[in-house]
């Protein structure tokens, strides 16, 4: 369900976050569906439970899941923008500003934008 790449230098907890986000986005995980327990997932991945906790905590702070002590962690219903969207938008804007300062052509960005947003499996 979730697989780690030890070759990658992106942190374990980040890899978990990204994969869960992807599964929520593509519908593999639906609202109120229970996520694997922190110990189960940690055992499956051969890591420390607290690393999973870190991933879950961040997902919760960003409004993607909710956790109930003693019960488990579950997928949350989306309600408009959440923190992650805001953060990523800010990141993109910051990078675009730098690229603009570096004198890159606007069309270069538009090409990327069109390519990414024609992936097809949305709307």
Partner DNA sequence: TTAAATGTACTACTATAATAGTACAGTAGT
Partner DNA sequence: ACTACTGTACTATTATAGTAGTACATTTAA
- Binding site residues, DNA, CB under 7 A: 11-14, 35-40, 47-51, 53-54, 56-57, 67-73
Tokens of 18: 């990204």
Does residue number 113 form part of the binding site for a copy of itself (CB under 8 A)?
yes
Binders of a copy of itself: how many residues, by CB under 8 A?
A: 33
> Considering the rule CB under 8 A, would residue 39 count as an interface residue with a copy of itself?
no
Integer CA distances (angstroms), 96 to 51, 86, 104, in order: 32, 15, 9
Per the CB < 8 A criterion, the answer to whether 33 and 73 are in contact is: no
Q: Is 61 in the site for a copy of itself (CB under 8 A)?
A: no
CB within 8 A of 15, min separation 6: which ones? 2, 4, 5, 8
Residues in contact with a copy of itself by CB under 8 A are 18, 21-22, 25-26, 78, 84-85, 88-89, 91-93, 95-104, 106, 108-110, 112-113, 116-117, 119, 122
């Amino acid at each position: 369900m979730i697989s780690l790449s030890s070759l990658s230098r992106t942190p374990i907890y980040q890899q978990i976050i990204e994969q869960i986000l992807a599964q929520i986005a593509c519908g593999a995980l639906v609202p109120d569906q229970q996520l694997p327990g922190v110990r189960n997932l940690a055992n499956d991945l051969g890591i420390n439970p607290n690393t999973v906790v870190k991933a879950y905590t961040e997902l919760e702070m960003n409004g993607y899941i909710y956790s109930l002590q003693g019960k488990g962690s579950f997928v949350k219903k989306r309600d408009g923008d959440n923190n992650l969207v805001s953060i990523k938008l800010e990141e993109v804007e910051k990078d675009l500003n730098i690229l603009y300062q570096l004198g890159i052509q606007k069309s270069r960005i538009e090409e990327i934008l069109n390519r990414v947003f024609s992936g097809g499996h949305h709307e």
